[in-house]
């Protein structure tokens, strides 16, 4: 198994490595960011992932630092409860890499990839009873169209939904990929991205409730930071990036007064500063070495209790 960590140094170096006492990796995955944090600081690290395989893999990879790391199998949306259970009130920094891990994509049994022929699964938590198969073979047409539009930004959503329903039952990702491809106009199939990419993204997001989890979590990420603490979040598509960008913007400037007011009277105070007015993106060299990094964007927020 190979796992290439995206925006590794840019993300880790955004944290207060010299002074930080406790950091959180909210999406452990293959452990790349966690390893770099542990190598670059003396801080304690709390590593969270809802994928049991990710935790087992990273326990072995990070065993040299076992005295400074606590593994927690949970969803990052439970960050408050995780810290409470550990007796931790505040942390000095946290990161969240919202992409699907390479080992999840490469593991044929997980059903994430449109490039493989696998059972339709896509669960990040394999104990969750709800899988992508129930969406593909059970959702009515209007619900399929909704998620394809909203989560995949797929303009051919009605055609794809009709093709999926017409070909049920669908058993494998390979079948699903071909069905989607056949539903698209020839000109669309000739474009340089895989025809099923948007559909698979939409179904994966719906399966795991990813956007709802992110909306509820970003504010919590800021809440659990100490003064001067940093939240660094990597997104991989425009829907995620929009949520993070807007949440950070509101945290920096929460004022709801009309622009015509000479002074703020709403009483809402800034919670800190957005450190990335434009998102940090991978270099050309990184994208060449790891094409999966192409769409990654890093946004950073530093908390300030004024």
Domain 115-208, CATH: 1.10.150.170
Q: What average pLDDT does range 193-198 have in this prediction? A: 88
Q: Which residues fall within 8 angstroms of residue 257, CB to CB, at 6 or more apart? A: 264, 265, 266
Using CB atoms within 10 Å of the CB of residue 282, give its burial: 0 to 12 exposed, 13 to 18 middle, 19+ buried.
Answer: buried
| Residue 123 exposed, middle or buried by CB count within 10 Å (0-12, 13-18, 19+) | buried
Question: For residue 71, is pLDDT > 70?
Answer: yes
* Model pLDDT for residues 244-302, shown as the tens digit of each residue: 999 999 999 988 888 888 888 888 899 999 999 999 999 999 999 988 899 999 999 99
- Whole-number Å distance between alpha carbons of 275 and 109: 39
* Whole-angstrom distance, CA of residue 61 vs CA of residue 239: 32
What's the pLDDT tens digit per position in 198-219?
999 999 999 998 898 898 899 9
Tokens 């800034």 identify what position?
A: 270
Burial call 5-31: b when 16+ CB within 10 Å, e when fewer: bbbbebbbebbbbeebebbbbbbbbbb
Cβ neighbour number for residue 122 with a 10 Å cutoff: 25
Q: Indicate the domain borders of the chain.
A: 8-103+212-303, 115-208
**Rounded to 5 degrees, what are φ and ψ at 46?**
-105, 120
> Residues for the chain: how many in total?
306
* pLDDT tens profile 16-28: 999 999 999 999 9
Model confidence band, residue 1 (pLDDT cutoffs 50, 70, 90): very low
% of the chain with per-residue pLDDT over 70: 97
Class of the CATH domain delimited by 8-103+212-303: alpha beta
> 3-class DSSP state for residue 303?
strand
Confidence of residue 2 (pLDDT cuts 50, 70, 90): low
Work out the mean pLDDT of the chain and round it to a whole number. Answer: 92
- What pLDDT was estimated at residue 297? 97
Q: How do residues 159-194 score in pLDDT, each as one tens digit? A: 999 999 999 999 999 999 999 999 999 888 877 778
Q: CB atoms < 10 A from the CB of 112, how many?
A: 26
Spatial CA neighbour of 253 closest among 194, 301, 197? 301
Strands 225-235 and 91-97: parallel
Q: Tell whether omega for the bond before 105 is within 30 degrees of 0, i.e. cis.
A: no
């Amino acid at each position: 198994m190979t796992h290439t960590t995206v925006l590794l140094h840019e993300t880790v170096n955004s944290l207060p490595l010299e002074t930080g006492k406790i950091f959180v990796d909210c999406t452990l995955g293959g452990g790349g960011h966690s390893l770099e944090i542990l190598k670059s600081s003396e801080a304690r690290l709390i590593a969270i992932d809802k994928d049991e395989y990710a935790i087992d893999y990273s326990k072995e990879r990070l065993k040299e630092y076992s005295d400074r790391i606590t593994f927690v199998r949970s969803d990052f949306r439970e960050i408050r409860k995780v810290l409470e259970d550990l007796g931790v009130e505040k942390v000095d920094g946290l990161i969240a890499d919202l992409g699907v891990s390479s080992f999840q994509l490469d593991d044929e049994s997980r059903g994430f990839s449109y490039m493989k022929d696998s059972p339709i699964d896509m669960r990040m938590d394999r104990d969750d009873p709800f899988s992508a198969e129930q969406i593909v073979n059970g959702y009515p047409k209007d619900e399929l169209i909704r998620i394809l539009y909203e989560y995949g930004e797929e303009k051919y959503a009605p055609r794809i939904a009709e093709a999926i329903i017409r070909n049920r039952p669908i058993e494998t990702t390979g079948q699903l990929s071909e069905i989607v491809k056949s539903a698209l106009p020839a000109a669309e199939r000739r474009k340089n991205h895989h025809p099923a990419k948007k559909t698979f993204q939409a179904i994966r997001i719906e399966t795991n409730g990813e956007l709802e989890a992110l909306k509820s979590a970003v504010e919590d990420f800021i809440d659990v930071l100490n003064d001067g603490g940093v939240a660094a979040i990597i997104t991989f598509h425009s829907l995620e990036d929009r949520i993070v960008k807007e949440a950070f913007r509101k945290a920096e400037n929460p004022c709801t007064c009309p622009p015509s007011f000479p002074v703020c009277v709403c009483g809402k105070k800034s919670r800190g500063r957005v450190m990335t007015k434009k998102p940090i993106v991978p270099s050309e060299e990184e994208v060449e070495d790891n094409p999966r990094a192409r769409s990654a964007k890093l946004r950073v927020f530093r908390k300030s209790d004024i």
